[in-house]
């Protein structure tokens, strides 16, 4: 029996999305087309691939057994595509870079724009998001974040270290004074980020120096913490490179050594020979450490 790769792709989409409509949207086809192709496969295989009821489609045991193998085939096909793209491209094309909010918006944006000036044939796109993009499926080309990539076949390197500190606006200090660290900052208010990348750092270190202070704001992004700090509403635990952009903020040296996080740049191993990716990695490795290094005040 000849293998129809297009039908296998359709079958995998139906398994993944759990419905004909979902598979049709994902593949850019119509629902009747998807239904007709699945029915044709069932006729040729002389077996049912899905049980149909009022709740939708449920894979039969036969279909479930096929699902894992289809996923492996799809991953292998994606790998072949990545290698072909990397081997045949010139210093041109598109690069999608992902990073967390403040780092992407405040640090990477100007750097990537300058890279785009130097390489006008390379279209650089930046997505600042907490989402964990799938680099293996080419949802993104480069990840710049604090987290360790957990996907298979990733190349990841430490590219810089980002230090954090406590900061307050003059208006906050005028209203509340500087915190007394010997009392854990009793009577003070703080703003903290609460994301997968940074929560552990903020929680553990914050409790050691300002454990008696009230957390007035817990946010899912550093921009919100910065806004509360600039407004004088709270003491902010901020990355030094971000706080340094606002010279009115006062650094509050803590008795405990201030924490730092390693920043990692990652990409899929199959793309390591891509000229445009190599050019970007080398550029960021040279530029980021200087931009992110801020001397203690």
- pLDDT per residue of the chain (297 residues) written in tens, 0 to 9: 555 777 888 888 888 888 888 888 888 888 888 888 888 888 888 888 888 777 678 888 888 888 888 888 877 777 666 566 555 455 678 899 999 889 999 999 999 999 999 999 899 999 988 777 777 677 889 999 888 877 777 888 899 999 999 999 999 999 999 999 999 999 999 999 876 555 555 677 888 999 999 999 988 889 999 999 999 999 999 999 999 999 999 999 999 888 888 999 999 888 878 888 989 999 999 999 988 987 666
- Stretch (H or E) spanning 22: helix 20-27
On whether the CB atoms of residues 63 and 15 are closer than 8 A, the answer is yes
Identify any residues that bridge with 263 across adjacent strands, giving them in sequence order: 160
Domain with CATH 3.40.190.290 in the chain: 91-297
Residue 169's pLDDT is 98
Instruction: Look at the domain 91-297 and name its fold.
Output: D-Maltodextrin-Binding Protein; domain 2 (3.40.190)
Say which CATH architecture domain 5-87 belongs to.
Answer: Orthogonal Bundle (1.10)
Joined together, the tokens standing for residue 149 give 């990539």
Instruction: Give me the long-range contacts of 28-36 (CB less than 8 A, separation at least 24).
Output: 34/10
d(CA 50, CA 64): 9
Joined together, the tokens standing for residue 107 give 């640090």
Domain with CATH 1.10.10.10 in the chain: 5-87
Residue 242's pLDDT is 95
Residue 12's pLDDT is 84
d(CA 278, CA 286): 12
Residue 86's pLDDT is 52
- Secondary structure, 3-state, 40-60: HHHHHHCCCCEEEECCEEEEC
Backbone φ, ψ for residue 96 (5° rounding): -105, 120
């Amino acid at each position: 029996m000849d293998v129809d790769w297009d039908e296998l792709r359709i079958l995998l989409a139906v398994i993944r999305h759990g419905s004909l409509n979902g598979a049709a949207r994902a593949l850019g086809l119509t629902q009747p087309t998807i239904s007709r192709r699945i029915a044709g496969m069932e006729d040729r295989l002389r077996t049912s691939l899905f049980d149909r009821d009022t709740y939708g489609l449920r894979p039969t045991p036969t279909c479930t057994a096929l699902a894992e193998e289809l996923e492996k085939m799809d991953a292998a096909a994606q790998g072949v595509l990545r290698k072909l793209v990397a081997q045949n491209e010139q210093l041109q094309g598109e690069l999608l870079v992902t990073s967390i909010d403040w780092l992407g918006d405040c640090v990477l944006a100007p750097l990537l724009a300058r890279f785009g000036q130097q390489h006008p044939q390379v279209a650089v796109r930046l997505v600042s998001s907490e989402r964990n993009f799938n680099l293996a499926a080419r949802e993104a080309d480069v990840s710049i974040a604090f987290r360790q990539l957990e996907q298979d076949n990733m190349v990841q390197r430490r590219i810089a270290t980002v230090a954090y500190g406590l900061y307050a606006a003059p208006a906050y200090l005028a209203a509340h004074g500087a915190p007394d660290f010997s009392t854990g900052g009793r009577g003070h208010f703080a703003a903290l980020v609460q994301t997968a990348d940074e929560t552990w750092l903020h929680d553990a270190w914050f409790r050691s120096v300002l454990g008696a202070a009230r957390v007035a704001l817990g946010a899912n992004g550093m921009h919100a913490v910065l806004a509360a700090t600039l407004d004088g509403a709270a003491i902010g635990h901020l990355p030094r490179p971000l706080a340094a952009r606002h010279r009115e903020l006062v650094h509050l040296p803590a008795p405990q050594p201030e924490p730092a996080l390693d920043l990692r740049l990652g990409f899929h191993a199959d793309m390591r020979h891509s000229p445009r990716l190599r050019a970007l990695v080398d550029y960021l490795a040279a530029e980021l450490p200087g931009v992110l290094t801020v001397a203690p005040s």
